[in-house]
């Protein structure tokens, strides 16, 4: 029987955690993407299935609400399911539970299918016959659109996309954008706060050898917004908005 809700148990390994022994945001995205492909493969629309037909999945938006990040060695249950598609996108939701059934993380994503030749979006009704869409939504809305930042006249923090950044679709792995963004957050702020919400808009695809700049701005007392973009033509690759809360354990230490 094909599962409408796909679930898998994970033990958090040491190479997925940070200096606080918590799951990193980029590792979290990697887990979500793996879950998405595993479920899509069971439904006949995984990476290998689409590749044979000249197509591939891309994630365009993601929004996660985080009660707490799981710790190293902790066992968690991750669930994922598809909601009703529209003409060109397929929403997919997630939730992560601890060993006692408490919700740690809940969120929603939006996916599209592109052709490998030109990168053109495809109609979802070509592919979603077996997706078993669910009514339940973790956020009760689609992931939000992030408004553009005013980028600096002179780009800073210029870097080049390396071979280790590239995924099977020959573009930058989405999780690397998250890592680049979090590396740009003020370290004192990061240590004294806990991530509460993560929103990502994936806008275009960086490739091997492309240059990129990381611009982060503290937009409120508890929020950072980051744009990753090309310094050559100012094309944006990704916008990331993070909301945080004070880490009381840090304040009391």
- Structural domains in the chain? 1-140 (3.10.129.10), 144-253 (3.10.129.10)
Q: What is the mean pLDDT of residues 21-40?
A: 95
pLDDT band at 128 (very low <50, low <70, confident <90, very high): low
| CA-closest candidate to residue 240, choices 222, 221, 227, 223 | 227
Interstrand relation of 103-115 and 90-97 (parallel, antiparallel or unpaired): antiparallel
pLDDT tens-digit series, residues 37-59 = 999 998 888 899 999 999 999 99
Does 2 score more than 80 pLDDT?
A: no
pTM equals 0.93
Residue linked to tokens 């706060």: 193
- Residue 253 clears pLDDT 50, i.e. is over it: no
If DSSP codes are grouped into helix, strand and coil, which group holds residue 228? strand
Residues 22 and 99: their CA atoms lie apart, in Å, by 16
Angle between helices 174-183 and 25-42 (to 10 degrees): 170
CA 140 – CA 136 distance, rounded (Å): 8
What pLDDT, on the 0 to 100 scale, is given for residue 21?
A: 96
Are the C-beta atoms of 192 and 247 separated by less than 8 Å? yes
Q: Return d(Cα 63, Cα 43) in angstroms, integer.
A: 24
pLDDT band at 240 (very low <50, low <70, confident <90, very high): very high
pLDDT of residue 60: 96
- Bridge-based pairing of strands 75-82 and 103-115 is unpaired
Question: Confidence band (pLDDT; 50, 70, 90) for 74?
Answer: very high
* pLDDT (0 to 100) of residue 251: 47
The secondary structure of residue 208, as a DSSP letter, is: T
pLDDT-derived band at 159 (thresholds 50, 70, 90) equals very high
Q: How far is CA 109 from CA 44, 163, 231, 233, 252, in A?
A: 20, 27, 28, 28, 36
Q: What are phi and psi of 25, to 5 degrees?
A: -60, -40
């Amino acid at each position: 029987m094909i599962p409408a809700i796909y679930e898998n148990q994970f033990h958090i390994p040491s190479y997925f955690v940070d200096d606080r022994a918590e799951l990193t945001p980029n590792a979290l995205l990697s887990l979500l993407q793996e879950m998405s492909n595993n479920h899509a493969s069971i439904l006949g629309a995984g990476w290998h299935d689409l590749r044979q037909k000249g197509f591939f999945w891309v994630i365009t938006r993601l929004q996660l609400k985080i009660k707490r990040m799981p710790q190293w060695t902790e066992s968690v249950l991750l669930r994922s399911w598809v909601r009703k598609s529209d003409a060109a996108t397929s929403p997919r939701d997630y939730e992560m539970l601890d060993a006692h059934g408490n919700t740690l993380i809940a969120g929603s994503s939006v996916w599209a299918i592109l052709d490998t030749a030109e990168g053109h979006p495809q109609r979802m009704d070509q592919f979603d016959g077996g997706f078993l869409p669910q009514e339940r939504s973790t956020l009760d809305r689609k992931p939000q659109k992030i408004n553009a930042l005013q980028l600096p006249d002179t780009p800073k923090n210029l870097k080049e996309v390396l071979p280790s950044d590239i995924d099977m679709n020959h573009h930058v792995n989405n999780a690397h954008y998250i890592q680049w963004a979090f590396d740009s957050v003020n370290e004192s702020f990061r240590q004294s706060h806990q991530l509460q919400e993560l929103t990502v808009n994936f806008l275009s695809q960086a490739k091997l050898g492309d240059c990129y700049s990381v611009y982060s701005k503290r937009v409120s007392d508890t929020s950072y917004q980051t744009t990753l973009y090309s310094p050559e033509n100012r094309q944006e690759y990704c916008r990331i908005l993070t909301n945080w809360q004070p880490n009381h354990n840090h304040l009391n230490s």
